[in-house]
Each structure stands twice: as C-alpha cells, then as structure tokens.
Structure 1
Amino acid sequence: MSRVLVIDDSPMLLELTVRALTAAGYEASGAQDLAALDQKLTEGPFALILMDVNMPEMFGDDVVEYLRKQKGVTAKLVLYSDISEQELEAKVKNSGADSYILKSGGLEGVLGGVMGLIGAPALNIPKAPMAAGGRKPRILIVDDSEMTARIIEADLVSKGFEVHVADTADKATKIILKKQTRPDLVLLDVRMPNVNGEQFCRFIKSNSLFKGIKVLLCSGENVEELQRICREAGADGYIPKDAVMGSLVAKELMPPGAE
C-alpha cells in the first residue's frame, strides 16, 4: 500500500506536496485541520502521515500522540518543519514519531524521505532519460508566478529531473552562466515583467555559449500566437500552460528513436 496523507495548514504547500507525491506514484491526499484529518482516517489506512509541526489549532507532535493513542493509527508518522534539525529531532523523540523531514530540503527532500520510509510506489512511473555524463537532465523553469513554477517543479522532480527555478530573466541568466547549473532545457514563460520570454529566448539562442540548450515557451496565449512567438524568437517549441508538463518535457528531452 502506498497511501500518504499530508497535514499542513498552508493551502499552497499542501497542494504542492500532494501533487509531487501523486506524480511520483503514491496515492496522496491532504488535510488542513483536525476535522479534515478525522474524515481522511475514515477512508482507510495510510502507510505514512506527514505532519507540519507548527499549525494554528494544533502542533504536529501533539497529533502524533492523538493518532497513536486515540485513533490507533499504525502508519509511519513523520514530522515536517522548517525549524532547526536539532529541535525537530527532539520533537520526534519526545512525541514518539517515526521520523522527520526538513522543509528546507524542498519537494525532492519530501519524495526522498517518503521513499526511504515506505519504499517506492508500485506504479510504473516514467523516469527522465539520463543526460551526457550520466547525470540527471537539468531543467530551468523561468516564470514570475511562484505557484505555477512550483507545481511544474513538483511534477518534474518526481520524474527524475534536476530542476532550477527563476522568477526573472536576470536570475535565470546567472543560473545559465554557471556550468554546474547550466540547463539542458529552459521552460520559459512568455509574459514576464521587464525582459519577457520572447526577448530572453532570443538572448539564449544568439549566444554561442548556450548552444545546445533547448527552449520551450510556456504560456496561456492561444496556440496561433504561441506559434508566432516561437517562430520569431527561435524557440525549439512551445507548451500551453494547461498541458501535462512532465510528459511533454520528458518527450522533448528523449533522444530520437528512444522509447
């Protein structure tokens, strides 16, 4: 069984974490408060419950005792927080939780922690092809919407990509200039303040240093407008924002003839 329950009072973090776990193949769901938690527990047992430590109406370490003693839950109980690791270790020990995951590790840290505790899901999840040198393919998401960028990041991380995020062209340029972070592909929002995606695409494609970097434009524009911008900016392709990001990007990076 690969059912995971995430408890967090932040709607954005809750959605991102559940999306990342679901994309990785787990049957994941979320709860923001005790009432929602109790409702989820009636839907069947979970293999792991991930709990934010600091929430308005309850603390994650108190919920551990509630779940063990009052609800008889046998799932792995994991505390999740951005407090110091030493303080988190102490809370795990005092509450009887099974483990902890640091929020500073991001979505990749959550996925790694969950897999380490309950194993990889049984589903067959497509993984990214390896890039040159045997490393993970590297993708840079450039989007001024943090929510959009993090949702796309969650999907791509779960599929085995190394992902970097920038909300401006200036930050993206710094990432591209460093050899150790230079991406294989840039997923570029068209509509951004200051330097827009069309201008930034031209910058990448006109610089011989960045030869080999693919650029996919990502936008909510209609298809005809996206095709025009793509053609005039020299992009390698485009993805409507409502498309399934992970599968399309994986296909774009897959070597010709590969299954």
Structure 2
Amino acid sequence: MSRVLVIDDSPMLLELTVRALTAAGYEAIGAPDLATLNQKLTEGPFALILMDVNMPEMFGDDVVEYLRTVKGVTSKLVLYSDISEQELEAKVKNSGADGYILKSGGLEGVLGGVMGLIGAPAPAAPATGSGGLPKAPMAAGGRKPRILIVDDSEMTARIIEADLVSKGFEVHVADTADKATKIILKKQTRPDLVLLDVRMPNVNGEQFCRFIKSNSLFKGIKVLLCSGENVEELQRICREAGADGYIPKDAVMGNLVAKELMPPGAE
C-alpha cells in the first residue's frame, strides 16, 4: 500500500486530508508539526510527503530542503498551500520539491494530485470474512447497492463518497434537493438508500425526506438523516418526516451504511 505523510498545522485540514486519502486506498498518516514529522520518518519510508507551506516553525519549502539535504529523504515532496499558483511554482523551483497542490482545489484536488505523482493505490484485497474492508452486499438484480449522498458541503460529501466507493457501493452525490430528485426519478440511478443532510438551503432535509416517503414510487428507498444536530432534534425529525434512522456525520459512515443495507439475519 502506498504511504503518504501529510504535514499541516491546521487540525481540521489535517484530519480531513488524511481521512480522504485513507478512504481512497492510501496509507495516510498526519503530522501537525516538525517534531512529529521527524518521529514519523523513523517509522518507515513514504511514497509521498505533502507539506503545508505556512507552518509556524518553518516554511514548508525550507522543510523540503531540510528533508532532502539533511535527512536524505527520497520520497516525492509536494508543497500544499492556498498562496497564489505563481508564488507556489517559484517555491517548488527554489526548494527542489517535486510538485505542488493548491488548497483551493479541495480534497478532490489533493486526491488527483497525489494520484498523478505516485499513481492510484493498489486495490484492497477482497473481504474474506475477517479483516479488510467490509464487502457491500449485492442489491436486487446482482448490482452493487446504490447510495445517494445529499449534502450541500462538497467536502463532507466527497469524504463519505470515497469511503463508500472503496467498500463496494455505487455512490451518487447531490448538493441540493432538486438535483437529488432528478437522480431518484431515473430508474437507472434510483438509490437503495439516501444519506440526507438535515440543514440545506431552499428545501431542507426534513422536507425532502417527507417528499421521498410520501411517494409510492420511492417506497423501497431507505432514508438516513446524516447530521450534526443533537439527538433529540434528529429523533423528532425521524418521527415526523418518516426517516428510517439517523447517523452522526462524525461516525464511521461506511460500516453503518453497510450494516443498514444488509439483509435481515445477515452477518
């Protein structure tokens, strides 16, 4: 498995980037500072090191030079920042880095950049009853179970999407109820389950859940509310909108959804 080390002093960005890379199939590890970076380097080689430019202790391009000349690191070294692309290109040239990734490109930009530099991760071994990723149960007709993620946060949706795709699900994403409706209306994209954010602009999750549950055409679709709302509020919405349940956004999405889609009695 390709190993990637991510260095960023922002705890939120560090966690999201590591989670996205892990969901895509890489062995991703995070380091919030230079002390942790030095410690991680002793744990084995990395195919790529993603280095935030604006670190409090030392600029990322200086760290690149340090890793090359002092530590003798042979990994791909990539600068990661929200500064202008022109400035970032100059830092890459001066430091000897192998490339750069713009933070403005979001997690999709990170995944695309990493794949472009070290290739796609090797596919995970099929699940065999113990260890490894859970294998998605087959839906009716022998196809993959189909999940629709409805969330106006692209970052959240893409993290969940990458995790579920890696576990064998067919996943569609919509950032509004209107786009989600178009996906549900088409038989070839109609989901078995909808992961529905509660707080969205225009038509919110509660209203959209009612729409799905009141339409006989969609009677086979399960709806799980996926939200950071408090438990009491989620329970109320589940009762009043007819949702099949709820899961917190910070839960392990893939395992919970896989369990939800398992036929009764399946282990």
Contact 1:12 1:147 in 2 (8 A): no
1:107–1:154: 8 Å Cα contact kept in structure 2? no
Could you say if the C-alpha distance between residues 118 and 179 of structure 1 is closer, same or farther in structure 2, counting changes exceeding 3 Å? same
Q: What TM-score results when the alignment is normalised by the length of structure 1?
A: 0.68
The structural deviation recorded for 1:249 is 4.5
Cα separation, partners in 2 of 1:164 and 1:224, compared to 1, 3 Å? same
Q: Deviation per CA, 1:155-206: give whole Å up to 9, x if none.
A: 3576698989899989999999999999996422458899864344214555
Other structure's SS at 1:54 match: coil
Per the alignment, do residues 197 and 114 of structure 1 end up closer, same or farther by CA in structure 2, a change over 3 Å counting?
same
Indicate how the Cα distance of structure 1 residues 174 and 3 shifts in structure 2: closer, same or farther if over 3 A, else same.
same
Identity %: 95
Deviating more after overlay: 52-61 vs 206-215: 206-215
- With over 3 angstroms needed to count, the CA separation of the structure-2 counterparts of 1:115 and 1:145, relative to structure 1, is closer
Q: What's the CA shift for 1:142?
A: 5.6
> CA 1:36 to 1:137, structure 2 compared with 1: closer, same or farther past 3 Å?
same
Range with greater deviation from structure 2 (248-257 or 101-110): 248-257
With over 3 angstroms needed to count, the CA separation of the structure-2 counterparts of 1:50 and 1:222, relative to structure 1, is closer
Residue 231 of structure 1, CA deviation: 6.0
Inter-CA distance 151–116: structure 2 relative to 1 (3 Å threshold): closer
SS class of match (2:28): strand
Deviation at 1:208, TM superposition (A): 9.7
What is the CA-CA distance between 1:239 and the residue it aligns to? 3.9
On the 8 A contact 1:108/1:158 being kept in 2, the answer is no
After superposing the two structures, state which structure 1 stretch, 133-142 or 53-62, moved more: 133-142
Q: Which moved more, 1:85-94 or 1:160-169?
A: 160-169
Shift of 1:10: 0.3
Aligned-pair CA distance for 1:56: 2.0
C-alpha contact 2:23 2:159 (8 A) present in aligned 1: no
Q: Is the 8 A contact 1:16 1:150 kept in 2?
A: no
Moved more, 144-153 or 36-45: 144-153
Change (3 A) 1:236 1:18: same
Per-residue deviation, 1:101: 1.4
Corresponding position of 2:188: 180
Residue by residue, what CA displacement relative to the aligned partner does 1:115-170 show, whole Å, maximum 9, x if unpaired? 22222223417899999999999976567999976754663576698989899989
Displacement of 1:28 in angstroms is 1.3
Aligned to 1:8: 8
Q: Larger deviation: 164-173 or 22-31?
A: 164-173
Q: Which residues of structure 1 form unaligned runs of 5+?
A: none
Q: Matched residues in 1 for 2:197 and 2:157: separation?
A: 10
Whether the aligned pair in 1 keeps the contact of 2:226 and 2:246 (CA below 8 Å) is: yes
TM-score (norm 2): 0.66
Q: How many residues align?
A: 259
Change (3 A) 1:106 1:96: same
User: Contact 2:195–2:225 (CA<8 Å) still a contact in 1?
Assistant: yes
User: How many Å separate the matches in 2 of 1:52 and 1:177?
Assistant: 43
For the structure 1 residues 150 and 237, does the alpha-carbon distance in structure 2 shift closer, same or farther, using more than 3 Å as the test? same
Unaligned runs of 5+ residues in structure 2 are: 127-134
**Are the structure 2 counterparts of residues 208 and 65 from structure 1 closer, same or farther at C-alpha, using a change threshold of 3 Å?**
farther
State which of 107, 131, 142 in structure 1 corresponds to 2:139: 131
Paired residues for 1:1-259 under 5 Å: 2-124=2-124, 152=160, 155-156=163-164, 186-190=194-198, 197-206=205-214, 215-218=223-226, 230=238, 232-235=240-243, 238-239=246-247, 243-249=251-257
